[in-house]
Amino acid sequence: MQTKHPPLIPQLWEEGDTLLIDKPLQWTSFDVVNKLKHKIKHLSGQRVKVGHAGTLDPLATGLLIVCVGPKTKQIDQIQNADKTYIAKIRLGQTTASYDAETPVLEEKSTSHLNLESIKEALKPFDGLIEQVPPAYSALKINGKPAYKMARKGQAVELTKREILISNIEIISFENPVLELSISCSKGTYIRSIAHDLGGKIGVGAHLNGLIRTKIGTYHLQDAWNLNELIACF
């Protein structure tokens, strides 16, 4: 990770700023926003608008863009940009959340899989596709977040949505772990890609690690460590 960053704008709460942050594991995106909001309020003595431009799940790390003050007007524009991820997928195990948040529901052998079979299974995931978001997501059903209903064991039905996968390629495959680079449009759930790929292969799968490396023209290599950023205020 780069150690040199552009200097923070003096009194950034007045002029506004766009902060690139490497989100820590187990933190929610709102945890990061609240941490910065409280720090800025302490320094400025006033409430300042702070918001993130695209959620990352607690079990994901990588690029989180936080906008401060007048720069919050750019959030929608940044959110609409394409994103790039590095995804680690555990083949042969399914979970209700499509990631490692919930226990393994079913396990199947992956000993018969090889690189060629993986490449063949990935072909339908390239381009414009339809995807059903995970039940464990923040999408709302009748005003209630789907994940809250799912955690209570309630039935969750989410409709398909059209997304664009502009690039999907294999970084490595060490059975049963597959590592992919995925560039995609707004609204793409990498957890659903993992789940659907496991179904396509016939052994099931879940997302076991996720790093967001790019949003539009912004790169993870230019992001701050959160603690180092806070120390610079």
3-state class percentages of the chain: helix first, strand second, coil last, to nearest 5: 30, 35, 35
Catalytic residues: 57
Cα 102 to Cα 134: distance, rounded to the nearest angstrom: 13
Please report how many Cα atoms fall inside a 13 Å half-sphere around the Cα of residue 181, on the Cβ side: 7
Residue 31 structure tokens: 């945890």
Helices and strands of the chain, counted as H and E runs: 7, 14
User: Strand (E) positions, 35-110?
Assistant: 50-52, 60-68, 83-91, 93-95, 104-107
